[in-house]
Chain A
Amino acid sequence: MRELIVYAEQKGGMLVDVSLEMMAQAVQLSHRINGTISAILIGDSCGYNADELICHGAHKVYLVEDKRLALYQNAATAKVVADILSVQSPEIVLIGGTSVGTDVAARVAARLRTGLTAHCIDLSIEEIDGEDQLVQTVPGWGGRMSVKIVCPQRRPQIVTIRPGVMEKGDPDPTRRGDLIPVMPVLTEDDFGARTLAFVEEKTKAGSLDDARIIVSGGFGLYGSGGFRLIEALADVVNGEIAGTRPAVDHGWIEEERLIGQSGKNVRPRLFISIGTSGAMHYTTGFSRAQVVVAIDRNASAPIFDVAHIGIVGDLNRIIPCIIKELTKEALPERTRS
């Protein structure tokens, strides 16, 4: 049977979201190629995460536990993963397009002399020249192109998946899978670069990932002295704030709240973009938002090409009206409680 393998990345002892997003993707692909799904779990003692992977569709979990791998070590991790892949010869390997995933994936692919497609936003199986091929879609040229890539000869086909572009599946606790302990073969040479410390940063930006509503601002807020209006609007709609590169550069928001190619990919139900021209670098970051509202005074700004609802006008006049309209209706309820 053909095997699909997911590299299950963890951070601070927990599976990162994209690990489960990839499991859902693997489940879909496995139906098409009639394959089995395995996950690779690497750490010091991390076996407790295996159940979650199994509930999300893993038939097997290769568990590598080693004190030297308590922190992420790039070359050693790549060796361990590549060794498992050499033995298993899977058809497809999915790795998260996170900082760590991107780092390890390239080394794994190089070790196996196979191709790697980075930051895929979509995967499908298509028959090409009589064979099932994994068609990998990536945004190229700053998101201005969509590029489909295939890896016709070499196996496995390795891809990294952009975090946040695929949906997690629902866990099914009745599922059963096998835990397969794997002894890593590592020498001192595999630690030429060694991670000495993992320092968590205290930010609230994690909340952007699950935010239902995001209010995002850009350079257009310059005239009103920064993010005061964005914050006020976010407050009444119970949303999170975010912004463009200039908003970060002016210190109105933290780097963690940057949306786009160099920042976050978000998937809220409602994304309100205010005073932003709509550069592709930025708009790729919210292409999966359910509804996009844009407010900008320039009627020909490209942001209106990606907005479902657009308002052309001065944000300094429109936002206060929106806030007033929303609070006007909310007021009676507040007085009641």
Chain B
Amino acid sequence: MNIVACVKQVPDTEALIKVKADGSGIEEGGIKWVMSPYDEFGVEEALKTKEKFGGEVTIVSIGPARTMETVRTALAMGAEKGIHIDDPALYNADAYATASALAAAIKGIPHDIIFCGMRAIDDDSGQVGSILAELLGLPSVTVITKLDIEGSTAKAIKPIEGAQLLIETSLPCVITAQKGLNEPRYASLPGIMKAKKKPVEVKKAADLGLTVEQKSTVAKMSPPPARPPGKIIQGDDPAAKAAEVIRLLREEAKVI
């Protein structure tokens, strides 16, 4: 089976993010970059699928030179090869432009099933998998916690608010992974060594016959509005502090 997994490199969740002075983006200095956690579920499911049915896993990622590290991480987990789309026109791409670039790369290779994370944890948009499917003319099953492939169809479970959908899809298709789908493996040391020799093609947008078309633009980034500082109840006596908070809630805030 020809399996594709799309991954994005994002700042580590613990990284302290600062906005550039002109509000146009974030300061990148000092940030640790990692594979977006939901993409790890996608890579893991891709590897499990390969282990069950045979075939190859190709990793596709977009981003500047540092992105290669994330591609290598996925190769170290067990994928066979990678495509790294490195083009400045795509560095701050919106979901549509991102999906177009992924679609252009994936069109050129055989694909029976494509995995993405349900969303990247930096911009949180959660659209790329669906747009990718639409651009490739494929069905999509998004944000799933269970996948069973049988022949040329697959059944998946998609939790929604207070319910679950049981969905059947034909292959090829796009699947986006949610937490709970699997437990991503760690790259082993031999895996890391082998990954260094696995082939990764680096491509520009033009190599893919792509002109980047951005649909929306970021007008401004700013830290969220600060709230006025709250009131801290001082003192050593827990009973006195308890009495004071109740007084404030009753008499000032009037919420209890």
Secondary structure dominating the interface of B: mixed
Residues of B near A110 (CB, < 8 A) are 96, 99, 130-131, 134-135
Query: B interface, how many residues as a size bin?
Result: 35 or more
Distance between Cα atoms of A205 and B162 in the complex (Å): 8
Partner of A152, one of B121, B129, B217: B217
A140 at the interface (CB under 8 A from B): yes
Distance in angstroms from B45 CB to nearest chain A CB is 16
Interface string of B53-94 (1 = CB under 8 A from A): 000000000000000000000000000000000000000001
Q: Do A293 and B166 form a contact, CB below 8 Å, given A98-B160, A99-B161, A144-B223?
A: no
B221 near A311 (CB under 8 angstroms)? no
Distance between Cα atoms of A318 and B26 in the complex (Å): 41
The segment from B107-115, B187-195, B231-239 that touches chain A is B231-239
Give the residues from 67 to 90 in chain A that come closer than 8 angstroms, CB to CB, to chain B: 71-72, 74-75, 78
Residues of B near A281 (CB, < 8 A) are 13
Distance between Cα atoms of A179 and B131 in the complex (Å): 31
Distance between Cα atoms of A237 and B249 in the complex (Å): 11
Residues of B near A194 (CB, < 8 A) are 167-169
Distance between Cα atoms of A144 and B95 in the complex (Å): 20
Partner of B140, one of A107, A313, A317: A107
Q: Which residue of chain A has the shortest Cβ distance to B226 in the bound complex? A: A305
Number of A-B residue pairs with CB-CB distance less than 8 Å in the complex they form? 255
Give the residues from 253 to 310 in chain A that come closer than 8 angstroms, CB to CB, to chain B: 256, 261-262, 269-270, 281, 290-294, 299, 304-310
The segment from B1-9, B196-204, B240-248 that touches chain A is B240-248
The segment from A34-42, A113-121, A169-177, A216-224 that touches chain B is A113-121
A135 at the interface (CB under 8 A from B): yes
Interface string of B133-147 (1 = CB under 8 A from A): 111001111110000
Distance between Cα atoms of A318 and B166 in the complex (Å): 46
Residues of B near A294 (CB, < 8 A) are 230
Q: Do A192 and B255 form a contact, CB below 8 Å, given A102-B126, A106-B131, A310-B231?
A: no
Residues of A near B173 (CB, < 8 A) are 192-193
B160 near A107 (CB under 8 angstroms)? no
Partner of A145, one of B127, B130, B221: B221
Q: Do A317 and B233 form a contact, CB below 8 Å, given A115-B94, A149-B216, A309-B249?
A: no
B139 near A193 (CB under 8 angstroms)? yes
Q: Which residue of chain B has the shortest Cβ distance to A199 in the bound complex? A: B164
B242 near A325 (CB under 8 angstroms)? yes
B206 at the interface (CB under 8 A from A): no
A1 at the interface (CB under 8 A from B): no
Distance in angstroms from A177 CB to nearest chain B CB is 27
Secondary structure dominating the interface of A: mixed
Q: Which residue of chain A has the shortest Cβ distance to B155 in the bound complex? A: A196
Partner of B167, one of A154, A193, A305: A193
Give the residues from 86 to 110 in chain A that come closer than 8 angstroms, CB to CB, to chain B: 98-100, 102-103, 105-107, 109-110
B148 at the interface (CB under 8 A from A): no
Extra 11 A-B pairs, beta carbons < 8 Å, given A16-B161, A74-B139, A149-B217: A103-B130, A140-B124, A145-B19, A151-B215, A198-B166, A292-B230, A307-B230, A309-B248, A311-B233, A313-B241, A324-B239
Name A's B-contacting residues (CB within 8 A).
11-12, 16, 71-72, 74-75, 78, 98-100, 102-103, 105-107, 109-111, 113-119, 128, 135, 138-154, 163, 192-201, 203, 205-206, 212-213, 237, 256, 261-262, 269-270, 281, 290-294, 299, 304-314, 317-318, 321-322, 324-326
